[in-house]
Amino acid sequence: MVNWAGLAGILACVGGIFAGRLYKGTDLPLPYPAIVPVGRYHPDKLPSFGPLEGPYATNEKLKNATKLFEGQIHGSESVALARDGSLWMLDKYGYVWRAPEDGKGSYALEKEPLAQLGPGRPLGFDFDKQGNLIVCNSGSGLVMLEKDSKKVVLLTSRVSADDPLDPDSTIDYINDVVAASDGIIYFTDSVQGIMPRRNAYGFWDTMEAYMLTLFQGEPSGRLLSYNPATRKTHVVAQEFWFANGVALSKDEDFIAVVETNTQTVHKVWLTGAKAGQKEVLISKMPGFLDGITTSSTGTFWVAVVVPKMDLVRYLSNKVVRFVVAWLPQEVKPPVPEWGAVVEVHPDGRALQALYDSDGTHVQRISAVTEAGDRLYFGNLAGDYVSFIQKPAETCEQT
């Protein structure tokens, strides 16, 4: 009979060695406690994927995408458009890049970055009403790049001490952000207790932290808000298994929150009799979800960063989760390449999907930004961003 406790102990030591090797050369000898991936698990939260049929039927529409700044922009999760029409991108080293538009639909990347955001890994970002850039700088907190001075200001890194939910708790894995018309800033904290750390390559490794979250299985993600007027940080909703993208409905009566590891988008009501309540907007999507944004017609664009993987069927096995979580990157199971985004109606219907089904042109799209007649795509793992002309079908949705 296998002594699972003894085996787990041996694997803990091996895992620690591998982890230390991955982070060699940093000021952090071990990135996380070795016990993390064998923590609590919630079987009712197991991944559940939808089939590639109906609105999810495979096509190759993303193979027509135009790549921008290939080899120059490394790991910009999203793309933001400023009021002057320029594209803004944040690379994995924390640099802020701008590309002015020439009036003919083309862009030229400026030779030098506008700013460096300091420690952390920039993920989601959005402009507020004043034109300041609000950034989820994971590992640091919610920061603001001031419009005129280009000064970097830390807005919050923990929940307010007087908040009724999780008072004074730290914000460990800040991920995506959206600014409402009333000035309130909504953002996600993907998981509590697992924080991205700087790796040997000089950037903060959110992917390693994400994988530990996947294998831990604890739904500790949160939706939070920050009020610039009061400087208070409030927990709006809890218990997401990796809270990721956020987007406001067109009328701002609810906010859509991506739960990456269950292929689900939730809606959290902000107004009316249901204010504060959480319900499922859409589930059983065809892969692991990342960013979400609101279109000009009020639909949502959801980035499906990775397709279904067979490995997830073993997530209920604690030993398998531990072993895979601490394998060195070189021998971990490969992640399939593809590019995919899905348009979702605010009533929860999937409307259409756009693919590069084998990822040979664009892959691992992490966010979609609609602007005019284009969809711009961020790419957390790549060295470019991209865009396509908005499909005609999206203009007809109501």
As a whole number of angstroms, the distance between CA 88 and CA 324 comes to 36
Q: What's the confidence (pLDDT) of residue 341?
A: 98
Instruction: Give CA torsion, residues 358, 361, 364, 365, to 10 deg.
Output: -130
For residue 60, give the H/E element and its range: none
Q: What's the confidence (pLDDT) of residue 253?
A: 97
Q: What's the confidence (pLDDT) of residue 138?
A: 96
**Residues ≥6 apart with Cβ < 8 Å to 100:** 84, 85, 86, 107, 108, 110
The 3-state DSSP class for residue 241 equals: coil
Q: What's the confidence (pLDDT) of residue 294?
A: 98
Structure tokens at 198: 């700087």
Q: What's the confidence (pLDDT) of residue 8?
A: 44
The answer to whether residue 320 is domain-embedded is yes
pLDDT digit string (tens) for 10-57?
444 444 444 443 333 333 333 444 445 555 566 667 788 999 999 999
Structure tokens at 326: 């601490």
Q: What's the confidence (pLDDT) of residue 40?
A: 58
Q: What's the confidence (pLDDT) of residue 334?
A: 80
The answer to whether residue 167 is domain-embedded is yes
Its pTM stands at 0.90
The answer to whether residue 158 is domain-embedded is yes
Q: What's the confidence (pLDDT) of residue 22?
A: 39
Count of domains forming the chain: 1
Beta strands 80-81; 87-90: pairing state: antiparallel
Domain span at residue 258 reads: 4-41+52-396
The answer to whether residue 392 is domain-embedded is yes
CATH value at residue 370:
2.120.10.30
SS3 annotation, 143-211 = EEECCCCCCEEEEECECCCCCCCCCCCECCCEEEEEECCCCCEEEEECCCCCCCEECCCCCEEHHHHHH
Residue 161 CB: number of other CB atoms within 10 A? 10
Q: What's the confidence (pLDDT) of residue 25?
A: 33
The answer to whether residue 152 is domain-embedded is yes
The answer to whether residue 341 is domain-embedded is yes
Are 288 and 261 spatial neighbours (Cβ–Cβ below 8 Å)? yes
Are 174 and 196 spatial neighbours (Cβ–Cβ below 8 Å)? no
Q: What's the confidence (pLDDT) of residue 121?
A: 96
Q: What's the confidence (pLDDT) of residue 356?
A: 97
Q: What's the confidence (pLDDT) of residue 393?
A: 62
Strand order in the sheet with 365-371: 66-68, 385-389, 374-379, 365-371
- Residue 40 pairs with which residues in a beta bridge? none
Q: Which residues of the chain have pLDDT under 50?
A: 1-35, 394-396, 398
As a whole number of angstroms, the distance between CA 391 and CA 30 comes to 47
The answer to whether residue 46 is domain-embedded is no
Start-to-end Cα distance in the chain: 61
The answer to whether residue 47 is domain-embedded is no
As a whole number of angstroms, the distance between CA 251 and CA 316 comes to 40
Write the DSSP assignment of 91-129 as a string of letters: -TTSEEEEE-B-SSS-B---SS-SEE--SSEEEEEEE-T
As a whole number of angstroms, the distance between CA 262 and CA 282 comes to 11
Beta strands 365-371; 374-379: pairing state: antiparallel
Q: For 280-289, give one letter per residue: b (16+ CB within 10 A) or e.
A: ebbeebbbbb
